[in-house]
Structure 1
């Protein structure tokens, strides 16, 4: 086991077949990794089902659920899902709730007029239910009449807010047990997010988890070339996780001027800031910088193909033992 505080693991990509999750979970635990993050996106596989399977075949692995859309289930059903998963693996669950992609929520007929209000009402209700309270509330999106869980967790896990904007991060600082920051989550972005949340690195009452993408090669240029299309895609719809970077404007200019070659040849320290991409030493340096910024756990996305994910498992395991 590593001596540092950062827990390291892999993300189970939304495109992977469900049955693959038990293989990944066992391999991560047997190899000394600490976490597996299962992904719920519309309209792929569901997070709680994948998490239950992973928890059932492991004994020490922490399983994160990233993320449950706040309005896709009622607040009591979300609380029931989390409480049931806790029963499979007490102390080994990290559940995340977020706004959900609003276009997807619209497709399902549940898009809220105020995503912020909906998320806050759901987060508060689920937190209270997991604490064993009887909850009665009359909100804009959550209305409950004397609801109480029959089997609440003895020690509820932190309820993480999977958000990225300033107002949502401020909400997370008020009502969540932590944040789950989407990839690419650089140390710069982590520090900015904590500032927006009104929290500080190392706050024992606020758990910080992030997602990243991983690509480790003996030749760092080969890794950069592999991941340049991914970065270009990120730039096409840049969020605060990119715009807060000190070199963001220069990054955009390089891409506009030279395309993918401009990304491949950008300074190596930019890649190291962005993600565990490059050599093994580069990837380890990224993880250390995340830990220094206050991150407690990272789930790393492999390439989105089963064979490639199997090939990358040893890299994740090596980073978990760094």
Structure 2
């Protein structure tokens, strides 16, 4: 079964004002609510609220960074969410980026693969309720035990962009969360995780028939995100080295505005879903047809658009 998720909170909508929408999401055909954690809401508070507004939605973090919370704190926070939504919470973890971890939180961003792997292994042990004393390659834990271990340990998914992390997700986690890909990119990612591993990905959607406006927003996002080294390497692996080369040259030269303008329309149209609500639904379904288990709509603001109405218009139940 293909799931159909939405990323909350919506831009410009206060957290408490989401209640009515969350209550109606299952009837619209949505199966999941996921959160991001960059510079807006944290990954857990919106899900705690949503857990009390609907008992029919799976809730997930996409993703909680492994550097900005200590291993024990991450285990405690995840356990609290699992208590709020027994059997309905999925913990997505990832390395995040140097900008978020180092520049915004004053922490070292070293050995991201190792730190993610070790956090996954620690969480597996911690969720059992047993005391954990272990020396992991990237950190150590001595004498930690959850006072309230989850009755149903949440599945743990890994944010993964390239073969190494994708294979780790397939081997040790319960799924992989990838990002910034087009429908035709999905089979290459799927090949690394195999058919038995859940594959989740945000799908950036701008509901507008003004292609110029959608591309303007898309160029700004692409130049901001895909110049981050991990995302740049991912796009190279997917085959976009040449289409994004001019953007990278301008960015590396410190010419930010030129970098934005250097993003070609074709790259925007591949990575950002835009058009009428009907056209957007069809493109989201294309991700599933190419092997994505759980497309998660990340709704982008459009001029004059009502985000709640757009969520309703993108509902799979309308097809």
Per the TM superposition, whether the score is higher than 0.5 is yes
On the 8 A contact 1:10/1:316 being kept in 2, the answer is: no
Q: Distance in 2 between matches of 1:14 and 1:60?
A: 20
Q: Render the CA deviation track for 1:55-111: whole Å, top value 9, x for unaligned.
A: 111110122212111021121221121121111112221221111221221242322
User: Do structure 1's residue 200 and structure 2's residue 194 form an aligned pair?
Assistant: yes
User: Do structure 1's residue 178 and structure 2's residue 165 form an aligned pair?
Assistant: no
* Cα distance change on mapping 1:262 and 1:45 into 2, 3 Å: closer
Deviation at 1:241, TM superposition (A): 5.4
The structure 2 residue matched to 1:169, chosen from 155, 162, 166, is: 166
Gap regions ≥5 residues in structure 2? 248-257
Corresponding residue of 2:50? 54
Alignment of 1:201-280 (within 5 A): 201=195, 203=196, 206-216=197-207, 222=210, 224-236=211-223, 237=226, 239=231, 242-245=235-238, 249=242, 263=265, 266=266, 271=269, 274-280=271-277
Corresponding residue of 1:83? 79
Q: Render the CA deviation track for 1:167-200: whole Å, top value 9, x for unaligned.
A: 3333333332211122x332333322233xx421
Corresponding residue of 1:93? 89
The structure 1 residue matched to 2:299, chosen from 302, 306, 311, is: 302
On the 8 A contact 1:185/1:241 being kept in 2, the answer is: no
TM-score w.r.t. the length of structure 2 is 0.79
Corresponding residue of 2:254? none
Deviation at 1:209, TM superposition (A): 0.8
* Cα distance change on mapping 1:297 and 1:76 into 2, 3 Å: same
Q: Distance in 1 between matches of 2:206 and 2:10?
A: 18
Q: Render the CA deviation track for 1:6-44: whole Å, top value 9, x for unaligned.
A: 1112212585433234344224234332122122214x3
On the 8 A contact 1:192/1:244 being kept in 2, the answer is: no
Corresponding residue of 1:314? 312
SS of residue paired to 1:214: strand
SS of residue paired to 1:59: coil
The structure 2 residue matched to 1:127, chosen from 124, 127, 130, is: 124
* Cα distance change on mapping 1:79 and 1:303 into 2, 3 Å: same
Q: Distance in 2 between matches of 1:55 and 1:304?
A: 25
On the 8 A contact 1:133/1:148 being kept in 2, the answer is: yes
How many pairs were matched up?
301
TM-score w.r.t. the length of structure 1 is 0.79
User: Do structure 1's residue 188 and structure 2's residue 188 form an aligned pair?
Assistant: no
SS of residue paired to 2:193: coil
**TM superposition outliers: structure 1 runs of 4+ over 6 Å:** 251-254
Corresponding residue of 1:118? 115
